[in-house]
Structure 1
Amino acid sequence: MTAELYGRAVPDALRRMGSPAQALSVESFTRTDGADAGSRRIRMVNGPLSVELLPDRGLDIGQVRAHGVPLAWISPTGFPAASVDDADGRGWLRAFGGGMLATCGLRNVGPASDDGGERHPMHGRYVSLPAWVVRAEATAEEVVVEAVTREAAVFGDDIELRRRISMTVGEPVLRVRDVLVNRGSRPVEPMVLYHLNLGWPLVDEGTRVTSPATEVVPRDAAAARGADSWDVFPAPAEDYPEQVFSHLLPPREPVEVAVIAPSGLTVRVRFDTAALPGLFQWRVAEHGHYVLGIEPTTTPTILGRADARERGLLHPLAPGEERALGVDIAVEGAAH
């Protein structure tokens, strides 16, 4: 497939511009109003694909638009500064803005959890950690932003996440590449989940999900009520308790999950089960919370760190050792 910008091969398109900035850019700015006033933003533009990055949330991803069509669900909270260490351990929900990517971890995934006498907040602390942006550039070959985020404590674990988010010019694919590094002096046991949040108009009544799963298992009674239709999104309702399904994946191979709207608009999430052996699907179909979550993870549990330890799902990272993770998000069928 030849990379194109607005119907022309990339080299030909670039020759027709006074500057590549007509179609390719990386723009940094600061929010000046509202609950997220003072927070940094970076906008990546690759022709018709526009991506908002959130450096003050570990370089997570906010809204993504293809030909102006929004793909991600944005929650009622927006993206205020996150405070996760509150009394009930649910501060993550009070600042969960949704967006294309909310990273869970780096030491807990799921509800608040006590592990070895240490309290871990819901979905970990990552969304409260600012990143150091070390590169932000648009070239004739790619649009790329790189950053470093660190979760550390005196006498505790010291984990660095080096993130690279890139798009090849003319290709509607967003690539997230992470490297976990143990910067401490003793082994650590990281947990990471990529909480990808898709919304309307991609997510609509009749939107289909295809999965490489060998089996799809409901988390609880609420999910069991939707077990026969996990792959078809329902119409919005006044009340729709959240449903979570665990997808049992083939081991150690590249896989793809596709989310296909009735209009043909499609998002494909690709990852390797050698690094991300678990996958959860989250859906809520009520007004204001009409959202589909696709969630690859390093640890196939959504019940917290203590459960992961009990089930032998925590894998140590030695001092100085690195571990590579990542997902690709490809877009097809966006209207011009």
Structure 2
Amino acid sequence: MTATLFGAPLDDAIRLMGSIEQAVSITSSTLAGGPSSMSRRIHVINGDLDFEVLPDRALDLGQLRVAGMPVAWISPTGFPRLVAAGVDAQSWLRAFGGGLLTTCGLLNVGPASHDGEQSHPMHGRISSLPAEVTRTEVVDEEIVIEGIVREAAVFGENLELHRRITSRVGGRTVRVADRLVNRGSRPVEPMVLYHLNFGWPLVDEGTELRSPATEVRPRDDDAAVGATSWATFPAPQDRYPEQVFQHLLPADQTIDVEVVSPRGLTVGVRFDSAQLPGLFQWRVAEPGHYVLGVEPSLVPTILGRTAAREQNLLVPLEPGGHLNLGVEVTLSTPVPSRR
């Protein structure tokens, strides 16, 4: 497919511009002031698509906009700079900024858990760890950002997450490709979940979630209330207990999930169920927390490491072994025509 930029073939657009930086750029900065003071940001502009990468949050993704419209939900906490992961659920919730992507893991997904002699905080430590950024450039009609995040402990795990974020110049897709490597001398049983968070105005009353699930199961009594309406987002309410649904997926297939807004914007989430066999949906519909989460997962549970072990869902990654994981997000809106 020929790349385009603002409705023109990419080659023509580049020829007509004084510099490609008129439409495409990667800018690194350190914020000053506020709760995010001294935290690093990488801001990417790709035509009418722009998004934030968070180096101090494992190269997670902050806000993403298309033609100026925000797509991701940002929590009231924002993205404060962290030194280490919290030790309990309350600590995690005080620093969960949301954003397009919060990575959960690498050893726990869900509530804080104990596993043998180890304690694991809610949703793990990875999103509180800084990345070593190794590459930021535009090359061969592609924006590329790469980095390495390490989760390690003396006498414990030694895991490296090699992350590659790409976006085709003139396109509306952001791809996150991860390579998880066990650098330790002992097997490790990883847990990884991609917590994708969508907010208003994409998410509004009547927004649809389209899933290829063979079955959708509510997590608890609060979710059971919405068991027949999980596919349609409700109007905001003063109080709306969070609802989580498990989507059972066909095995070893390319999975396409769509968030379809009445405003004409569709966001597609694509991943491979051979890599990520689990999928969860999270929704809250109250002011300030009007959010829809789409969450592909390496381990098909969101109840914590203890539950995963009890259900025999943990798979060892041998020393020197690696896993290839990742997701991509594509936005579909009308593209302006060339006059």
Question: What TM-score results when the alignment is normalised by the length of structure 2?
Answer: 0.97
Deviations 1:203-261 (A, max 9, x none): 00000010010000000010000011000000001100000000000011101000000
- Count of matched residue pairs: 336
Shift of 1:139: 3.1
> Quick one: structure 1 residues 208 and 89, their matched pair in 2 at CA, closer, same or farther if it must change by over 3 Å?
closer
User: Counterparts of 1:152-231 in structure 2 under 5 Å?
Assistant: 152-231=152-231
- State the match for 1:270 in structure 2: 270
Equivalences for 1:78-117 in 2 at 5 Å? 78-82=78-82, 85-86=85-86, 88-117=88-117
Matches of residues 1-336 of structure 1 in structure 2 within 5 Å?
A: 1-82=1-82, 85-86=85-86, 88-139=88-139, 141-333=141-333
- C-alpha displacement of 1:322: 1.0
- Distance (Å, rounded) in 2 between the aligned partners of 1:262 and 1:101: 23
State the one-letter code of the partner of 2:26: V
Say if 2:108 and 2:120, in contact at 8 Å, map to a contact too.
Answer: yes
- Give the alignment's Cα RMSD to 1 decimal: 1.2
- The alpha-carbon deviation at position 82 of structure 1 amounts to 3.5
Question: Which ranges in structure 1 are unaligned for 5 or more consecutive residues?
Answer: none
TM-aligned CA deviation for residue 312 of structure 1: 1.2
Q: Which moved more, 1:202-211 or 1:138-147?
A: 138-147
How far apart are the structure 1 equivalents of 2:285 and 2:200?
11
Displacement of 1:46 after TM fit?
A: 1.1
SS of structure 2 residue aligned to 1:227: coil
- Aligned partner of 1:177: which letter? A
Runs of 4+ residues deviating >4 angstroms: 83-87
Assess, with a 3 A threshold, how the Cα gap between structure 1 residues 9 and 259 changes in structure 2: closer, same or farther: same
| Cα distance change, pair 86–141 in 1 and its aligned pair in 2 (3 A) | closer
Structure 1 Cα separation of the partners of residues 114 and 83 of structure 2: 18
- Cα distance in 2 between the residues matched to 1:225 and 1:14: 53
Shift in CA distance, 239/132, structure 1 to aligned 2, threshold 3 Å: same
SS of 1:229's equivalent in the other structure is coil
Q: Is the 8 A contact 2:109 2:122 kept in 1?
A: yes
Between stretches 75-84 and 26-35, larger displacement belongs to: 75-84
1:59–1:86 distance in 2 versus 1, CA, 3 Å: closer
Give 1:89 deviation, angstroms.
4.1
The alpha-carbon distance between structure 1 residues 256 and 86, as it changes in their structure 2 partners (threshold 3 A), is closer
User: Does the residue aligned with 1:13 lie in a helix, a strand or coil?
Assistant: helix
Corresponding residue SS for 2:315: coil
The aligned amino acid for 1:288 is: G
Q: Secondary structure at the match of 2:228?
A: helix
Superposed displacement of residue 335, structure 1: 8.0
> Contact conserved, 2:281 with 2:295, CA < 8 A, in 1?
yes
CA-CA distance at 1:84 after TM superposition = 6.1
